[in-house]
Structure 1
Amino acid sequence: MNYKIEEMKESDWDEVSKIYLEGINTGIATFQNSIPTFEEWNNGHIKSCRLVAKSEGKVLGFAVLSPTSSRTVYSGVAEVSIYIGENYRGLGIGQSLMTNLVKLSEENNFWTLQSGIIRENTSSIELHKKCGFREIGIREKVAKMDNGVWHDTVLMERRSKLVGVY
């Protein structure tokens, strides 16, 4: 499949939000249970590190960073969110997005990328491993879904070899 990795624009939000809803509907991609407004989403994500995979103008997936803290000492630490449309999973798009997001993050002086992944989301865990992340721990029964099910999260981290202390 031919696609390009591009900077996400506000005009992509409609398609991005639909992909995000597909992730919500899996029950293992996020603890979020509804799609935020663009304004809410925009305010929670780093503007310099937002990517989409597109084919013929259609968004196939996206990868973005959000800050982990407002404290200056953590200015180079961000949390990864990556979602691929259900019809495009398993085609390498996630790995391409993540690889490009890592490069972009380093260009923007991020030295640590982290993810908290619901333990059952094994494909996301494997994607992170392929892209240089390592498992650093498990948070047991850290969050309860609306249906009453508790989930563990796998904490993963990637340290830059170009930015910060390595």
Structure 2
Amino acid sequence: MKVRTMRASDWVAVARIYEEGIATGMATFESSVPSWEDWDMAHMRSCRFVVENDDTVLAWAALTPVSSRCVYAGVAEVSVYAAANARGKGLGKLLLKALISASEKEGIWTLQAGIFPNNVASLKLHRDMGFRLIGKRERIGKLHGIWHDNCILERRSDIIGID
């Protein structure tokens, strides 16, 4: 297995994995996969990775800027998704390592993640990778007509933005 930069040609596999995550009902408030063009515009181009094995994309991760305001230029939101048949195999950890390294090269000082409280595996992964729980937003959004909470975690860089 190897981690590499995501290419536009990976979109079919990335979208399929994203759709599997949406179907769980505990990965995102999104209800459908956006077009490549919309997804591409929303995510940082320098911080997109996939894990592949034998030319098959098994997982992906990317960063989204949290704001266009200059004061938040060093803050990005993490997305990490693994194919249903590849979950629990350490791919998220590989991807988060790559994202952390790439984000620091891009001057990102804070990574944040919004995770549903029932997504225990994702909460554990992020904590294991140095994220800390900073709070829980109660009934922040509806998914299929049901209100859901969202845990907010962040990881502050040890090398960027420390002065």
TM-score (norm 1): 0.96
Query: Whole-Å Cα distance in 1 between the matches of residues 10 and 49 of structure 2?
Result: 10
Partner of residue 75, structure 2: 77
Matches within 5 A, 1:145-160: 145-146=143-144, 148-160=145-157
For residue 149 of structure 1, report the CA deviation from its aligned partner. Answer: 1.3
Q: Write out aligned runs for 1:72-111 (5 A).
A: 72-111=70-109
Which runs of 5 or more residues in structure 2 are unaligned? none
Number of aligned residues:
163
Identity between Structure 1 and Structure 2 (%): 48
Please name the residue that 1:45 is paired with. 43
Whether 1:21 and 2:19 are equivalent positions in the alignment is yes
- Post-superposition offset of 1:29: 0.3
Structure 1 residue aligned with 2:8: 10
Q: For 2:47 and 2:98, how far apart are their aligned partners in 1?
A: 10
Q: Show structure 1 runs of 4+ deviating over 4 A.
A: none
Q: 1:9: Cα distance to partner?
A: 0.3
Equivalent-residue separation in structure 2 for 1:34 and 1:106 (angstroms): 31
Q: Please, which of 108, 112, 118 is the counterpart of residue 114 of structure 1?
A: 112
In the alignment, the residues of structure 2 paired with residue 118 and residue 28 of structure 1 have an alpha-carbon distance, to the nearest angstrom, of 6
* CA shift for structure 1 position 11: 0.2
Deviation at 1:58, TM superposition (A): 0.6
User: What is the Cα deviation at residue 88 of structure 1?
Assistant: 0.5
* Deviation sequence 1:71-106 (CA, Å, 0-9, x none): 111111000000001101111111111111111111
CA deviation after TM superposition for structure 1 residue 16, in Å: 0.2
Match of 1:134 among 124, 132, 135: 132
Residues in 2 aligned to 1:142 and 1:80: alpha-carbon distance in whole angstroms: 18
Tell me which residue corresponds to 1:61: 59
Structure 1 Cα separation of the partners of residues 141 and 120 of structure 2: 18
Counterpart check, 1:164 vs 2:161: yes
Q: How big is the shift at 1:157?
A: 0.2
Kindly provide the CA deviation profile for residues 100-132 of structure 1, in whole angstroms up to 9, marking residues without a partner as x.
111111111100000111111111010000100
